[in-house]
Structures are given as C-alpha cells and as structure tokens.
Amino acid sequence: MIFVEDLKKEYCDDEVKTIALDNVSFNVDKGEFVAIMGPSGSGKSTLMHIMGFLDRPSFGAYKFEGQSIEDLSDDELAYIRNEKMGFVFQFFNLLPRTNVLDNVKLPLIYTKISEKEKQERTKRAIESVGLSHRLKHYPNQLSGGEQQRVAIARAIVNNPSVIFADEPTGNLDSKSGQQVMEILQNLNDKGRTIILVTHEQYTSEMAKRIIKLSDGQIVEDAQVVDRKIAKNGLVK
C-alpha cells in the first residue's frame, strides 16, 4: 500500500538548511498497524505529513497504492486524501460551533452520495465509537476523550484505506487514551491500515510494528513481540 524509498525532506530558512528526513526507506502493507516513534524533532510528524499528502518530499520516491506522488497535482492529491485517507490529530481539530453529527459528516460534503446516505454513514461512524447519545452536543460539551472519539468517527466516515493518527493520546488522560487505542486496535483487527505517530513507548507497543526515527533517519524497524492488546473496544 505504501512505498517509501530514499525519502528526504529539507527546509531552508535564511540560507540555513535543516534536514527533517534523511534517506528514509520502508514499505507498509495493507492491514498493518505501524507505529512511527521518536523524540521531538526526529522527523516523525514530517514523515506522516508526506505520507498523508499534506506535504511533498524534497527528494526520493513515495507511492501510495502504486501511484507516485510526483505524478499528481495538488487537486488530485486533495481528492485522494479525502477519499482514501482519514486523519486523527492530537488536538482533535473539531469545528467548535458545529455539533458532533455535522463535525463527523464534514468529509462527505463533496461526495456524490445522497443526503440520506451521508446521514446514515455519519450515524454509523458515531455509533461505532460509542457516542450516539452525543449527536447534538458541541465540542465544548464533551470531554477530551469524547472529542478524540468524534475525531476518529470523522476519520472513518469515508471508509478510508488508511488512518493516520498523529499523537492521538497526547492530550488525554490515561483512561481516555486507552479507549482511543482500543478503538484503533479494533479498526485494525477489522482490516484497516493504521499509521500511528507517537513518542510514547506504551502506546507504540499497541501496534504490531514499530519504526523508530532519530534525527530524520530510521534506526529500528521491527515487529512488536509482546504486543499490548486492548480490551473491550467500542467499534463493532
């Protein structure tokens, strides 16, 4: 599904060159649950942004489902991103004056499906994260954990090929973070590809594979031997 070869990302500011990614190479197969781990400044978020078509590499090759990013215009990237990718961020990124139902429905705005189907898909996604009783609530009426669950529902409403989760538990207490990871694990168990960016060792060990970055380079890429299995996930 994902092919990365000799990927490099450079930023230039006042003639000062900063290398965020330095010749990174790896593949991700459909259905994998991969954690990209590293300290602040290691390049993990930059890598996720490139994989999620939110940025372009300076050098190297990146292919998503066999399609090279170099061959696509910005409009084409945006279309694939909306159709094939779901995103979950640390700070939820919900619209504050929009209720749960309409926040989750956002990715469906430009699709050609009927309004009835949009409503049905949205309600199914919200139900899958256990928040059917919060449809008309606004973000400021929800806990942090509930807001992140809304963000996950929004990420899956379009039935994407892959979900990118950037520090999804970083702004949550341990119990809420556990609930979020349970949902991600259950999505993966049902065949969804998950790319998780985290600096937390415990969270990364709930994935099936860990790629560790340091100073923009891969220093380790290994399967998780003693995977921490979450229980009682909400996704059905």
The sheet carrying 85-89 orders its strands as 85-89, 162-166, 193-198, 33-37, 209-214, 217-223
Q: Report the C-alpha gap between 229 and 185 in whole angstroms.
A: 8
Q: Strand 59-64 vs strand 2-13: parallel, antiparallel, or unpaired?
A: antiparallel
Through-space distance between the first and last CA atoms of the chain, rounded to whole angstroms: 25
In the prediction, which pLDDT does 110 show?
79
Phi, psi of 183 (to 5 degrees): -65, -45
The CATH architecture one would assign to domain 24-55+82-232 is 3-Layer(aba) Sandwich (3.40)
User: Minimal CA–CA distance to 208: which of 198, 222, 190?
Assistant: 222
Residue 191's CB: how many other CB atoms inside 10 A? 8
Euclidean distance between CA atoms 12 and 172, whole angstroms: 34
Q: 59 with 30: CB under 8 angstroms?
A: no
Q: Could you read off the pLDDT tens digit of each residue along the chain, which spans 236 residues? A: 999 999 999 988 877 888 999 999 999 999 999 999 999 889 999 999 999 999 999 999 999 999 999 889 999 999 899 889 999 998 889 999 999 999 999 999 878 899 999 999 999 999 999 999 999 999 999 999 999 999 999 999 999 999 999 999 988 888 888 889 999 999 999 999 999 999 888 889 999 999 999 999 999 999 998 887 765 444 43
Position 230 scores a pLDDT of 65
Amino acid at 88: V
Strands across the sheet with 2-13, in order?
A: 16-28, 2-13, 59-64, 67-68
Asked if 131 and 155 count as a contact pair (C-beta separation under 8 A), the reply is: no
Q: Residue 95 has what pLDDT?
A: 95
